Amino acid sequence: MTVRAIVLAAGKGTRMKCDLPKVLHTIAGRPIVGWVVKAILDAGITDITVVIPPDSDAVAAALPDGVRSVVQHERGGTGHATRIALEAIGDVAKDTVLVIAGDTPLFTSATVAALVAAHRGPATVLTTRVPDPTGYGRIRRSADGVVVAIVEEKDADDTTRAIDEVAMSTYAFDGASLAEALPKLGRANAKGEEYLTDVVGMLAPVAGFDVADHRETLGVNSHDQLAEAEALMRARINLAWMQAGVWMQDPATTYLDATVQLESGVRLLPGVHLEGSTSVGGGAVVGPQTLVVDSTIGAGSRVGYSVVRGAEIGEHVEVGPFASIRPGTVLRRGSKAGTFVEIKASDVGEGSKVPHLSYVGDATIGEESNLGAGTITCNYDGRQKHRTVIGDRVFIGSDTMLVAPVEVGDDAVTGAGSVITRDVSPGALAVERSQQKEIPGYAARRGRLDESEGE
Amino acid sequence: MTVRAIVLAAGKGTRMKCDLPKVLHTIAGRPIVGWVVKAILDAGITDITVVIPPDSDAVAAALPDGVRSVVQHERGGTGHATRIALEAIGDVAKDTVLVIAGDTPLFTSATVAALVAAHRGPATVLTTRVPDPTGYGRIRRSADGVVVAIVEEKDADDTTRAIDEVAMSTYAFDGASLAEALPKLGRANAKGEEYLTDVVGMLAPVAGFDVADHRETLGVNSHDQLAEAEALMRARINLAWMQAGVWMQDPATTYLDATVQLESGVRLLPGVHLEGSTSVGGGAVVGPQTLVVDSTIGAGSRVGYSVVRGAEIGEHVEVGPFASIRPGTVLRRGSKAGTFVEIKASDVGEGSKVPHLSYVGDATIGEESNLGAGTITCNYDGRQKHRTVIGDRVFIGSDTMLVAPVEVGDDAVTGAGSVITRDVSPGALAVERSQQKEIPGYAARRGRLDESEGE
Amino acid sequence: MTVRAIVLAAGKGTRMKCDLPKVLHTIAGRPIVGWVVKAILDAGITDITVVIPPDSDAVAAALPDGVRSVVQHERGGTGHATRIALEAIGDVAKDTVLVIAGDTPLFTSATVAALVAAHRGPATVLTTRVPDPTGYGRIRRSADGVVVAIVEEKDADDTTRAIDEVAMSTYAFDGASLAEALPKLGRANAKGEEYLTDVVGMLAPVAGFDVADHRETLGVNSHDQLAEAEALMRARINLAWMQAGVWMQDPATTYLDATVQLESGVRLLPGVHLEGSTSVGGGAVVGPQTLVVDSTIGAGSRVGYSVVRGAEIGEHVEVGPFASIRPGTVLRRGSKAGTFVEIKASDVGEGSKVPHLSYVGDATIGEESNLGAGTITCNYDGRQKHRTVIGDRVFIGSDTMLVAPVEVGDDAVTGAGSVITRDVSPGALAVERSQQKEIPGYAARRGRLDESEGE
C-alpha cells in the first residue's frame, strides 16, 4: 500500500491582513507549510502534493525538492482542491490518501503515522477534543464508536453543540473511495464551493482518530494564532534541548530556529535568538540579548549582548558586551571581540584581541596581536574595498587608522593616534604625529575657545 | 436623561509603598485613572467628576480637559466622596449617576455603556464572578434575580461565603434616589467613614449587572496587581494589533503604549517598546530589544537593538544594531545610522550613511554622503553648540573631527584622522596630518615603550 | 529536643546530561542545595549534614560554614545515605532527625518548621497533592488519617493509582526509631540499594504532613524542571519586592538574585538582571535590558541598556544607553557615563561627564569635567597599566588620546584629535595637531584616491 499526502494550502484565508501569504509566515524559522510537509516526510511519506493559490510562486519555491505543487486557480473549496490534486497524482485506487490542512504547523509526524496506522475502511476523520468547540463541526459517533456524521455549528441542536469532539479538516481516505466520491460533489451551497466534508458524509459511517493534544491541530488564520503557534513550538523545541542537557534561564524568551544544533552543556541566557544553520559547542554561554544567525560558536566561548551573523567563532572566544560580528568573520581560538567592536569579513588569529571601540573590516590579523581602543581599518576608498594585513604579536596603538591596502609586520607597534598609510616593517614602531604644544592660561581666555567636543 | 459619572480616586490606598500616587502609575503609558476616565468618555459620557485626595495636583493635572476634579480633604469614605462630588455637580434629580472605582484600569467602555443600558430602578450594582471570592462583598440575589443584599465577608455564613458573585464598587444610581439617600449615611462604624454600600442597602432590592470577564474589574492596590493589570492590558492591546495584521514574534514581551499607531504588515520582534506618539509604517521591522519614543518610523525601515527618541525616520532607513537616535533627528529615505552611532538634532539626507562608531550632533548632511567610522562632530565648545553642514556626495574619512561651526562642500573629501577646523570647498580634499615615521627594531627595545593602548 | 537535618544530595541523578553537578545549578544565583540548606537554617535548625556524591568537592565548598558534608562513595540508596550521615552525626536517640531531598529548591523554611511542629511518633512523612500523581509513591491513609503505606506505582491497583496524595522523599524521624530501623534495611531489590521508604514501611502507621502547595516540593531532575523551578522562584522573589513597593513593568522577565537589595520606589524595566551583592536605591530606574552584578546604584540614578559589574554608582547618575561599567569604577553623584562608553577601575568625580564613544581605564577624574566623544585613556603599554589623572573642570576635546601615565590639571583644555603624552598644566590648552591643507578639485581626480573610510 502506498500512502500519498495532499496538503491544502489554498482556499479562503490565504492572507492574514498583510502581504505575505499565510502559509509562508515562519514559526521557529520554518514556513507554516514547511512544518506540515516535514511532519509528513518524517512519517515516511514521500509522495506529497501541495495545493497552492494562484500567484504563489513563493509558496511553491519554499517546498522541499520532490514535493509536487498544484495551483488551484479558482475558489473551488476543499473538495475541488483535493480533486485537482488527484488529477496531478494519477491513479490512487490502491492507495491511502491523506488530506491535511496546510495551516497546522504543530501537527507531528507521530500523529501522521498514527493516523495512517489507525485508518480503516473508506475514510478516517482526524478529531480532537477542545475546551470550547464553538464554531467547529461536531463529531457524532454511534454507540460502537464509528463516526456517523460531522455536524456543522448551524445545523447542531443543543445536545450536539455540547459535544467537544470536533473535526480537524484532516483525513485518511481509501483512494478508490475518494476518487469515486469526489466527482459527485456539488456546488449547490451558499459559497458555491465543493466541500470535502461532504465526501465524508457520503462515505459515513467512517472511522475517527482522536488526537490527544488538541493544540497539535491549531490552525493559523490570524496573527494572534500565529503567535500562539510560535509560543507552543518554542516550548516544544526548548523542552527537547533542555532534556538533552542545555541550560536555559528562561525558555519563554529563548528563541531557537528548528535548524539550530546545540551540544549538551550549552548555557542560554534570556533574550537569545539562534537562527538558521547556527551551532553552539558545549560549555559556551550565549546571552543575554544576543542574536546569532548562520554561525558557529565553539565550546567554552562567551557571547553576550551582541549580534553575530555568518561568522565562525572558535573555542574560548569572548564576544561583547555590545559587539557586532558580520559575515565572513573568523574569530580563532582564544581571541576576543570586546565592547563596541564591529568586525566584518576578517580573520582574527589565535589569542588576538580587539577589546574596545574598533571597526575591523577586510582584515587578516595574526596571533597574539592586540588592537588598541579606537582602531579602525579604513577599508573603503569610496570606490572599492582593500585589505589590511596585521602580523603576529603586533601592538596597534589606540586610535590608529590603518588605511588599506596596508600591512603591519610581526612584532610591529603603532603609536596612538597615528594614521598608517604605508606598510610597517616587522619589529618597527610606526608613528604619525605632531609635537604637543601648550598654551598657558587658556582657561582664563576661554571666550576665544575654538576647540570643542561632542555632547 | 443625562448620565453623569463620578470616579473615586481618593480614600484609602492612595499609595502603594512608594511616593507616586497610586492612580498615576501608568499602564501601557496611560495613568490608571486616565484609563477609567477614557472608558467613560468612550462610552459617550462627558460629564465626569473625579474625587482626588489632597496634595494631588498631579492627579488633577493628568485628567483630560473638561473633567472636573474635587478634593476629598478628609478620609470620609466612599459615601462622603460621592456626596462632595454631587455638591460640585449640582442637581442630579433627573439624571443617572455612575459611581466608578478610580483604580480599575481594565474597565472597558463597552461595560460602562452596558451598565447604563441595563440600569433600572433606584440603583444597579456592578457584579462579577471570581475564582476566589474571599474578602469581597458577596451578592445575595432573590429568586427573581434582583440583588437583595451585599454581604461583607465578616457577616457571611458558610452558604453566603460560597457565593462567587461579588460586588465591584461600581454602580449606576437614579440621581434622585442617590441624592436622597446619601445624607442619611452615618459614620457609626469601625473606621468612622460613610460607606456607599450602605446606600445600596437603603435602596435594596436593586438591579445587578454581571460583568462576564472578572479580570475587567481588577482593582490595583499593590505593585503586583499593577503588574498583573499591565500584563492583561498588554495582551489586550497586542491582540488588537495582531488582528489588524501586525506580526509579533512574542506578544508577551512586546510593550506598546495605548497611543501608538501601527500599519498592517509591521513586524515587531521581542523586547520592543513603542511609546508615546510613535507610529510605524507597513513592512517596517522593529527589534529585537528596541525602544522607540515619540518617533515615526517609515515603511520598510529596519530598526534593531537601538534606542530612538523624538526622531523622524523615513522609509527604507536602516538603524542599528546599537544606535542611539536622539530628539530632533531626521533620517531621510534610504539613509543609515549603523553600529555604535549616536545622532542628535541632525538632518541626514536621502541615501546618506553613518555606518559605524560616530557621534553626529547639530549637523545637516546632504544626500548620498558617507561618514567614515569614527567621525565626530565637535559641536560643543564648552559654552555653546555650533552646527556642522555637510553637502551632497561628501566622503568623510575615518576618524575625522569636524570642529563646528564648519561646512564641508558638495563632493568634498576629508582625509582619515584629520581635524577639520576650517570650511572645505566643494570637490576639495582636506587633510590634517603629519608624515608617518618608522623607528626600526623597536620591538627589540620595547622596554622604552611609551605608547600604549586601552585594555 | 534537638533537631538535626540530613540533606540527601547524592545517589542517582546527580547530573542532568551536562558536567555541572545537579545540586550546584543555581536558581536566582544560589545553588539548589544552598536553597535547601538555607530553608533549614531559616527554620532555626543549625545541625545540618549534607550527603554528597564522590568527586564533589565543589558541592562541599558551596555549603555555608558549619554545615557538615559526608561523601557517599557507593550507590547505596537513600537508606544507606541516611545511615552514613547518622554515623557522622553520632547519637541521635533523643533527637528529631529530618531527612530532606537535596534537589527541592522551592522548599520553604515555613514548611520545614511546620513539619517539625507536626511531627509525632516514630516518623512523619511529608506529602502533597499533585495534579498528575503518575510515577510517585501514593499515600494510603487509614480512616483516622494516619499513613499506613507508601505504595509504589508498580504495586498500585487502580484505586490506589487514583490517589493524588504522594510522598515527597522528605521525613521527620524519631532519632531512636530511625537508628534502630536503618541497619535492618536490605539490598534484596532490583537496584541493590537500601531504600529509606522501607524504613517508613517498618515504622508504619506513621503521621503524614500535607504541604498545601505542591510546587514547593518540585524536585529538579532535568533542565526543564530546573527552568520551571527558576520561574517559580523568580515569581516568588519578584512578588515579595513588588509588595515592598518596587515597580516592575514585567516581572516575568525581571531576574533578581536572592541576594539583591532594593529600596521601595525602585523601578525595574523588562530584561533586567540584578545579581550578587547588588543594591539599588529609591527612585532609581534600571533597564530595559541591563545587567548589574555586585554593584550599588544610588537613589535617583538611571541605568539602561547597559552592563555594570563591580561598580559603585552614586545618586542621580546617568548610565547608558549602551555603556559597560567594569569593576573598580566609582561614578560619583550627578556624573554620567553615556552612549558607547566603557569605564574600568576609574573614579569619575561629581558632575563629571563621559557622554559618548569613550574608553576610560585606570583614571581619576575630578569634578565637573567633561570628556569629549572619542576620548581614550591609553592605559596599557603592552607590559603594564598606567594611571591617567584629570582635574576639576577640565575640558577634554573630542578624540583626545591620553597616553598614561599623564596628568591634566584643573581647568585645562585639550584640542580635538590630540595625542597627549606629557602632563598639561592647570588652565592650559594642550594641542597636538598639524595644519589643515586643502587640495582643490580632488573629487574630479578621485581615481587617485588613497584615503578611505570603513564600511
Q: 3-state SS of B208-256? A: EEEECCHHHHCCCCCHHHHHHHHHHHHHHHHHHHHHCCCEECCHHHEEE
| Residues of A whose CB is below 8 A from B435 | 432
Q: Which of B169, B192, B222 is the last residue of a domain?
A: B222
Q: What is the pLDDT of residues A313-368, one digit of tens each?
A: 999 999 999 999 999 999 999 999 999 999 999 999 999 999 999 999 999 999 99
Q: Could you confirm whether B386 is annotated as catalytic?
A: no
pLDDT at B156: 86
The residue from C119, C316, C356, C386 that is catalytic is C356
Instruction: Say yes or no: B48 and B109 in one domain.
Output: yes
Q: If DSSP codes are grouped into helix, strand and coil, which group holds residue A310?
A: coil
Q: How far is C104 from chain A (nearest CA, A)?
A: 17
pLDDT at B12: 62
Judged by CB atoms closer than 8 Å, whether chains meet at B452 and A340 is answered as no
Which residue matches cell numbers 526622531? B311
Query: Are B186 and B72 within 8 A, CB to CB?
Result: no
- Rounded to a whole number of angstroms, the CA Rg of chain A reads 31
Q: What is the pLDDT of residues A377-395, one digit of tens each?
A: 999 887 889 999 999 999 9
Q: What is the pLDDT of residues A214-245, one digit of tens each?
A: 999 899 999 999 999 999 999 999 999 999 99
pLDDT at B151: 87
The residue from B119, B214, B356, B386 that is catalytic is B356
Instruction: Return the axis-axis angle of helices B109-118 and B32-42, rounded to nearest 10°.
Output: 50
CA B189 to chain centre: 40
In a domain, B440, yes or no: no
Cell numbers found for residue A305: 549582548
Instruction: Say yes or no: B65 and B144 in one domain.
Output: yes
Is residue B449's pLDDT more than 60? Answer: no
DSSP H or E run through A402: strand A401-403
DSSP H or E run through C437: strand C436-439
Quick check: bond before B53 cis, omega within 30?
no
Instruction: Say yes or no: C106 and C232 in one domain.
Output: no
Instruction: Return the axis-axis angle of helices B223-243 and A223-243, rounded to nearest 10°.
Output: 120
In a domain, B450, yes or no: no
Query: Are B5 and B75 within 8 A, CB to CB?
Result: no
Cell numbers found for residue C189: 531489590
pLDDT at C13: 67
Q: B448 versus A283: which is more confidently predicted?
A: A283
pLDDT at C12: 62
Neighbours of A100 (CB within 10 A): 26
Weakest-pLDDT range from A87-96, A293-302, C21-30: C21-30
Q: Which of B222, B253, B283 is the last residue of a domain?
A: B222
Q: 3-state SS of B270-286? A: CCEEEECCCEECCCCEE
**Mean pLDDT, residues B147-155 taken together:** 87
- Which of C249, C356, C385 is the closest to B342 by Cβ? C356
Q: Which of A199, A222, A245 is the last residue of a domain?
A: A222
Q: Which of A20-24, A157-161, A404-408, B20-24 has the highest mean pLDDT?
A: A404-408
Q: Which residues contact B380 (CB under 8 A, 6 or more apart)?
A: A452, A453, A454, A455, B361, B386
Query: Are C41 and C7 within 8 A, CB to CB?
Result: no
B422: nearest CA partner in chain A: A450
Q: What band does B455 get if pLDDT is binned at 50, 70 and 90?
A: very low
Q: How many whole angstroms separate alpha carbon C384 and alpha carbon C389?
A: 17
Cell numbers found for residue C217: 516540593
In a domain, C437, yes or no: no
**Mean pLDDT, residues A444-453 taken together:** 52
Identity of the residue numbered A105: P
Cell numbers found for residue A198: 461532504
| Residues of C whose CB is below 8 A from B322 | 322, 340
Q: What band does C290 get if pLDDT is binned at 50, 70 and 90?
A: very high
DSSP class of residue A453 equals B
Q: How many whole angstroms separate alpha carbon C21 and alpha carbon B10?
A: 55
Our count of domains for chain A comes to 2
Strands (E), A165-264: 165-174, 207-211, 247-248, 254-256, 261-262
DSSP class of residue A256 equals E
What average pLDDT is seen over chain A?
A: 93
Instruction: Say yes or no: B39 and B23 in one domain.
Output: yes
Is residue A455's pLDDT more than 50? Answer: no
Nearest C-alpha neighbor of C171 from the set C130, C208, C133: C208
Q: How far is A454 from chain C (nearest CA, A)?
A: 5
In a domain, C83, yes or no: yes
Give chain A's length: 455
**Mean pLDDT, residues C32-61 taken together:** 93
In a domain, C326, yes or no: yes
A window 115-154, beta carbon within 8 A of B: none
CATH number reported for the structural domain that contains residue A306 in this entry: 2.160.10.10
Q: How many whole angstroms separate alpha carbon A282 and alpha carbon C82?
A: 35
Q: What is the pLDDT of residues B190-243, one digit of tens each?
A: 788 898 989 998 998 999 999 989 999 898 999 999 999 999 999 999 999 999
Q: What band does A13 get if pLDDT is binned at 50, 70 and 90?
A: low
Cell numbers found for residue C309: 559589574
Decide if B427 touches C, using CB distance below 8 A. Answer: yes
Instruction: Say yes or no: C339 and C398 in one domain.
Output: yes
What are the DSSP calls for C319-330, one per residue? Answer: E-SSEEE-TT-E
Is residue B36's pLDDT more than 90? Answer: yes
Query: Are C220 and C227 within 8 A, CB to CB?
Result: no
Distances (CA, A) of C114 to C34, C146, C188, C215: 20, 17, 35, 17
pLDDT at B300: 98
Q: How many whole angstroms separate alpha carbon A327 and alpha carbon B21?
A: 51
- Which of A288, A380, A435 is the closest to C455 by Cβ? A380
Instruction: Say yes or no: B217 and B250 in one domain.
Output: no
Nearest C-alpha neighbor of A317 from the set A304, A307, A326: A304
pLDDT at B452: 39
The per-residue b/e assignment along C212-226, b for 16 or more CB within 10 angstroms, e otherwise, is: eebebbbbbebbbbb
User: What is the pairing mode between strands A376-378 and A401-403?
Assistant: parallel
Judged by CB atoms closer than 8 Å, whether chains meet at A264 and C18 is answered as yes
Nearest C-alpha neighbor of B5 from the set B99, B91, B83: B99
Nearest C-alpha neighbor of A223 from the set B83, B254, C414, C212: B254
Half-sphere exposure of B255 (CA within 13 A, CB side): 28
DSSP H or E run through B330: strand B330-331
pLDDT at C396: 97
**Mean pLDDT, residues C322-348 taken together:** 98
Distances (CA, A) of C413 to A26, A204, A232, B406, C218: 56, 92, 60, 20, 63
Q: If DSSP codes are grouped into helix, strand and coil, which group holds residue A23?
A: helix
Instruction: Say yes or no: B51 and B173 in one domain.
Output: yes
Query: Are A206 and A127 within 8 A, CB to CB?
Result: no
Neighbours of A47 (CB within 10 A): 18
Decide if C340 touches A, using CB distance below 8 A. Answer: yes
Judged by CB atoms closer than 8 Å, whether chains meet at B248 and A227 is answered as yes
Judged by CB atoms closer than 8 Å, whether chains meet at C453 and B424 is answered as no
Judged by CB atoms closer than 8 Å, whether chains meet at B416 and C452 is answered as yes
A387: nearest CA partner in chain C: C454
Q: If DSSP codes are grouped into helix, strand and coil, which group holds residue B79?
A: helix
User: What is the pairing mode between strands B96-101 and B165-174?
Assistant: antiparallel
Distances (CA, A) of C222 to A241, A251, B58, C218: 11, 14, 51, 11
Which sequence positions of A are flagged as catalytic?
356
pLDDT at A278: 98
Residues forming a β-bridge with A205 = none
Q: How many whole angstroms separate alpha carbon B312 and alpha carbon B331?
A: 6
A window 44-73, beta carbon within 8 A of B: none
What average pLDDT is seen over chain C?
A: 93
Instruction: Say yes or no: A178 and A289 in one domain.
Output: no
CATH number reported for the structural domain that contains residue A151 in this entry: 3.90.550.10
Q: For an interface test with B, which of A275, A341, A359, A442 has the most B Cβ atoms less than 10 Å from its Cβ?
A: A359
| Residues of C whose CB is below 8 A from B357 | 340, 357, 454
Q: For an interface test with B, which of C388, C442, C455 has the most B Cβ atoms less than 10 Å from its Cβ?
A: C442
A window 253-272, beta carbon within 8 A of B: 253, 255, 271
Cell numbers found for residue C7: 540533606
pLDDT at C263: 98
**Mean pLDDT, residues B143-162 taken together:** 88
Identity of the residue numbered B333: R
Weakest-pLDDT range from A299-308, B58-67, B441-450, C429-438: B441-450
Judged by CB atoms closer than 8 Å, whether chains meet at C453 and B425 is answered as no
In a domain, C447, yes or no: no
Judged by CB atoms closer than 8 Å, whether chains meet at B357 and A340 is answered as yes
Q: How many whole angstroms separate alpha carbon B108 and alpha carbon A347?
A: 59
Q: Which residues contact C28 (CB under 8 A, 6 or more apart)?
A: C230, C233, C234, C237, C255, C256, C257, C258
Instruction: Say yes or no: A127 and A256 in one domain.
Output: no
In a domain, C245, yes or no: yes
Cell numbers found for residue A65: 525538492
**Mean pLDDT, residues B83-97 taken together:** 96
Decide if C428 touches A, using CB distance below 8 A. Answer: yes
Q: What is the pLDDT of residues B405-444, one digit of tens each?
A: 999 999 999 999 999 999 999 999 999 988 999 999 887 8
Instruction: Say yes or no: A96 and A116 in one domain.
Output: yes
In a domain, C271, yes or no: yes
pLDDT at A450: 43
Is residue A172's pLDDT more than 90? Answer: yes
Q: How many whole angstroms separate alpha carbon A390 and alpha carbon A388?
A: 7
Q: How many whole angstroms separate alpha carbon C108 and alpha carbon C87?
A: 27
pLDDT at B439: 92
DSSP H or E run through A42: helix A32-42
Distances (CA, A) of A355 to A374, A418, B455, C162: 9, 18, 6, 62
Judged by CB atoms closer than 8 Å, whether chains meet at C372 and B382 is answered as no
User: What is the pairing mode between strands C165-174 and C254-256?
Assistant: unpaired
What are the DSSP calls for C283-330, one per residue? Answer: T-EE-SSEEEES-EE-TT-EE-S-EEES-EE-TT-EE-SSEEE-TT-E
- Containing structural domain, residue C399: 224-430
Q: What band does C448 get if pLDDT is binned at 50, 70 and 90?
A: very low
Identity of the residue numbered A179: A
Residues forming a β-bridge with C48 = C5
| Residues of A whose CB is below 8 A from B340 | 322, 324, 340, 342, 357
pLDDT above 70 covers a percentage of chain B that reads: 97
Instruction: Say yes or no: A244 and A212 in one domain.
Output: no
pLDDT at C154: 83
Instruction: Return the axis-axis angle of helices B196-203 and B77-89, rounded to nearest 10°.
Output: 80
Q: What band does B451 get if pLDDT is binned at 50, 70 and 90?
A: very low
Instruction: Say yes or no: A27 and A52 in one domain.
Output: yes
